Amino acid sequence: MSDLSERRVEAPARAALRAEAARRDAADPLAPVRELFAHVDGEVYLDGNSLGALPKAVPERLASVVAHEWGRLRIRSWTESGWWQAPERVGDRIARITGAEPGSTVVSDSTSVNVFKALVGGVRLAGPERDEILVDAETFPTDGYIAASAARMTDRRLVPVPAAEIASAAGPRTALALVNHVDYRSGELRDLPGTTAAVHAAGALAVWDLCHSAGALPVGLAEHGVDLAVGCTYKYLNGGPGSPAYLYVAPRHQERFDSPLPGWNGHRDPFAMESGYAPAEGAARGRVGTPEILSLLALEAALDVWDADGVDLAAVRAKSLELTDFFLRCVESVLPAGACEVLTPRRHERRGSQIALRCPPGTDARTVAEALAVRGTVIDHRPPDVLRFGFTPLYTSFADAERAAADLAAVVGPAIGGEDGAEADGPQVEAV
């Protein structure tokens, strides 16, 4: 390394930030939980908002399921190993994280399938006189696709509305509103209590997508009177790639909830094999077909990290905000002013657990993300120019945040002609 590089590595601003990160990690009450996860040496992983890290307990649990429950007990495991009850059992564990009532959440199928159940079932709850579905205009694309399909199938009109305007847009014709709790691009946290109350005041139902919030911050489904909610489990809940999603139906709606996918698993007496459908009681009526047992039980093992000492949603949320504040300060310390535009709101009440930055002009987000990965910092991006840094408080450290900012400066700094305060060696991005 050159003398210049040495001086840049130990620039005063970065040295102070590294020292602060070390102090904060030493005092972090959630630091012991980090050891419950598998880590790659030398890598900073800030993509838990796409795929959570592997909890160390999962491989052993899966090996036992495969070798003993499937390999030896085989069909008997549906009863002897509790496979049959797993969708509701794991649902209750997720309910504790989302602030939902016991017996309100079932784990099965994909997020997309559960969005479809919630929308069509919600329209049926709302009644025939309400002919409009509001949808978050900035929603994750699949939610929008399914909302459009649900509207066609139920002969309703789909109305895309900016999330901040849904509360005022709801009216006497509104059946329900589908909103993302955290925007997947910007990391903006939406006003769940206020929007839900406004939608209810209009006589409609509130349906929330929790994919980018559950496991990173308090949700309060019961406290805030949410009607229906869905979410994936492979992000902040660390359930693994393709792990099954969940559906929440508020207890007050369960008796009338009419699922558009009435599969045999959601029947009140599945093994009676009746020709007519009679829904099960409670959350189980959200089931459709045979549960995804291997991934479901991997998720159940992954959720054990929430039983560790000191893990509660207040601590998780506090650390999330501290991490993202610290990361922003690091970025502003080592990058020239205005080099990357911050898309995520600064106000805590409007921030999820993600920081989204817009690349410098003339710089491609994919190229930046790939260069960061070579340096050992793994993030996500959204074309053409958005970088997403996901912070999972259970395993992300303050040292990770500082290192990611320094690597970002090393990658994009030369492209804008700035001093980055970080090691100059390694891949950099050229302005195009």
Catalytic one of 47, 143, 209, 380: 209
Neighbouring C-alpha atoms within 13 Å toward the C-beta of 49:
28
Cα–Cα distance, 212 to 233 (Å, whole number): 10
109 is catalytic: no
235 is catalytic: yes
Assigned architecture for domain 3-36+309-416? Alpha-Beta Complex (3.90)
Tell me the two tokens of residue 211: 């994919």
248 is catalytic: no
Each domain of the chain, given as residue ranges in start order, spans 3-36+309-416, 58-307
Catalytic one of 140, 236, 389, 391: 140
pLDDT tens digits, residue range 24-49? 999 999 999 999 999 999 999 999 99
Residues sharing a CB contact under 8 Å with residue 427, sequence separation 6 or more, in sequence order: 370, 371, 374, 375, 411
Work out the percent of the chain whose per-residue pLDDT is above 70.
93
pLDDT tens digits, residue range 161-210? 999 999 999 999 999 999 999 999 999 999 999 999 999 999 999 999 99
Nearest to 124 by CA among 103, 92, 150: 150
Q: 425 pLDDT band (50/70/90 cuts)?
A: very low
Catalytic one of 14, 24, 130, 235: 235
Neighbouring C-alpha atoms within 13 Å toward the C-beta of 125:
26
Catalytic one of 388, 395, 403, 407: 388
For position 415, what pLDDT does the model report?
A: 57
How confident is the model over 119-134, as a mean pLDDT? 97
Inter-residue contact 161 to 169 (CB < 8 Å): yes
pLDDT tens digits, residue range 146-158? 999 999 999 999 9
Q: What is the mean pLDDT of the chain?
A: 93
Runs of H (alpha helix) within 235-292 = 251-254
140 is catalytic: yes
304 is catalytic: no
Catalytic one of 234, 236, 326, 398: 234
pLDDT tens digits, residue range 73-110? 999 999 999 999 999 999 999 999 999 999 999 999 99
Determine whether domain 58-307 maps to CATH 3.40.640.10. yes
